[in-house]
Structure 1
Amino acid sequence: MIVITTPTGQIGSQVLANVLTSGEPIRVIAREPSRLPPQVRERVEIVRGSTDDVGVVNDALTGADTVFWLVPPNPRARSIPGHTLDFVRPLCEAITSQGVKRVIGVSSLGRGTARNAGQISAIFAMDDLVESTGVSYRSLCPPGFMENLLQQVEPIRSQGVFFSPVSGDHKVPVCSTRDIAAIAAELLLDDSWSGQDSVPIHGPEDLSHHDMAEIMSQVLGRPVRFQQVPGDAYVATLTRHGMTEAWARGIVDMAAAVERGAYDAEPRSPRSTTPTGFRQWCEEVLKPAVLA
């Protein structure tokens, strides 16, 4: 039995789509099962509820061999570590009580080196807790997602600009969620692995924000520029749009860790280099969103 969390989310939905045709029994945990497409609801077993509920997670992991686990973001959370641990403790309890064999979690590049890194630091604590159970574990370690730019579709469309606290010339790896999902699905369907290890995911290339702006301009057929925003101003903007101070400050701390080289600790390899390029992603995902 394969269990998949966040089946209607950005990554979880793609993981689910990738394993649906496998013939393996699949169970999902969903707050709102009605958001699942009808063809998915017909194919999978559904446990309704949230992954921060011990009872729900125990029910869902009963008889499970392999679990895909992702802590959903909550921009209204009052504490980043508290939010993360609320979603990890039920998993750790169920791993032990239900005898789960393998877990695949979504973490981040920079494990072991990034410090005071906001949401990244909290997700590393997840890795440590899951590994403390002794379960076979693969920690997927991507950089920032290309899909994060979808949060700035409106300023890209109306002003031709996008923003970040990270400087415009700092090159970093960037990847698409489709490639994260493909790796997760491959691991879910492979029952031969054991032990605990990290799986770096680097995308196909390192890009700066200025590089991204140039590619976006070419794909969209209109000028797009990048503007760096000081940390305090970035926090103020995010909180004006309803984000908690803690979550906004975590994003700025995460950006500062990236600026300090958090993503540089793990060298790129052929195995960590995933296929979806930024230009392809802009053509297939960003451009339709901007033109919608």
Structure 2
Amino acid sequence: MIVVTTPTGQIGSRLLGQLLDQDKEIRVIVRDASRLDDSVRERVETIDGSHDDPAVLDRALPGAEALFWLVPPNPQAPSAEVHYLHFARAGAAAIARHEVGHVVGVSSAGHGWPTPAGVLSAAFAMDAELGTSGAAYRALSMPFYMENLLRQLDAIRGQRAFYLTCAGDLPLALITTRDIAGTAADLLTDLSWTGQENLPVFGPDRLTPDGMAEVISQELGRPVTYRRMSIDDYASLLHSQGAGDQTVKDVTEAFAAQGHGIYDADWATAKPTPTDFRTWCREVLKPAADARAS
């Protein structure tokens, strides 16, 4: 039995499909089972609720050999670290209580970074807490998600630009959610691994944001440029969108660490995943942009 959290999210839904393709026995923890496709819902066991609730975990984990763990975002939380540790403490205790042997968690690259890194540091704290469970654990350690660019479709279409806070001429490590899901599926279906490790999961490119803009331009068939924002301007944007002070701090610290190379050490040792940025633009970004235009 494999237990999957966040089965309706970008990573969880893809993982669920891959596991079902292999006819694995699956139990999901889900807040709203109606969001699962009918074809999926009839093939999995559903546990209603949230995986920060010990009672929910006690219904979900009996008999589980492996667990996929992802903490969903919560902008209303007191801080990213409080939020991640709230989930992780409940999870670690339940994993130990039910003797779950293997856990795969979604984390960030950059373990050991010496200064605060906001939401990335919160993920590192989560990993440390889950490690106390005694289960074999793999922290999938990721850089910048390509899917983050989907939030900028209006700017890409209207302003012909996208915005980040990192230097345009320095390589930015990238990953796509389907490759995260694929890596998790491989681990969850072959439980021969032991111990606790951080596993870097990086895409094959070494593109700068300026280089990403060139690829986007070629795939969309119109010029798109990269425009760098300062951390202060990005913080002001978040505030204008209603984000609280702590949320802004958590996010801007993460982007500042990204700009200062928090992913670099893991990038040097990561085995590249299959999907390059051009393929993702062709198969995901362009169809999304075309659909927005229609």
TM-score (norm 2): 0.95
Aligned residues: 291
* 1:204 aligned residue: 204
Q: Structure 1: where are the runs of 5+ without partners? A: none
Report the equivalent of 1:120.
Answer: 120
Distance 1:239 1:113 in 2: 27
* 1:163 positional shift: 1.1
Q: What amino acid is aligned across from residue 276 of structure 2 in structure 1?
A: G
- The 5 Å alignment of 1:70-219 reads 70-113=70-113, 115-219=115-219
Deviation at 1:219, TM superposition (A): 0.7
Contact conserved, 2:11 with 2:178, CA < 8 A, in 1? yes
Partner secondary structure for residue 23 of structure 1: coil
Q: Which runs of 4+ in 1 moved over 6 A?
A: none
Deviation at 1:88, TM superposition (A): 1.1
Q: Tell me which residue corresponds to 2:279.
A: 280
User: 1:266 deviation in Å?
Assistant: 2.2
C-alpha separation between the residues in 1 aligned to 2:58 and 2:235?
Answer: 37
In structure 1, the residue corresponding to 2:222 is in which secondary structure? Answer: coil
CA distance in 2, matches of 1:64, 1:147: 31
Can you list the C-alpha shifts for 1:189-235, whole angstroms capped at 9, x where unaligned? 11211111121112101221111111111111111111111112211
Q: Which moved more, 1:185-194 or 1:242-251?
A: 242-251
- Partner Cα distance (1:204, 1:230) in 2: 27
* Structure 2 stretches lacking a partner, 5+ long: none
Q: Which segment drifts farther, 37-46 or 77-86? A: 77-86
Greater shift after overlay, 240-249 or 150-159? 240-249
| Secondary structure, counterpart of 2:268 in structure 1 | coil
Pairwise CA distance, 1:114? 5.1
Which of 193-202 and 118-127 deviates more? 193-202
RMSD over aligned CA atoms reads 1.3
Over 3 Å counting, the alpha-carbon distance change for 1:73 and 1:114 in structure 2 is farther
For the 8 Å contact 2:79–2:250, the answer to whether it is kept is no
Aligned residue type for 2:133: T
Q: In 2, Cα distance between the equivalents of 1:170 and 1:20? A: 40
TM-score w.r.t. the length of structure 1 is 0.96
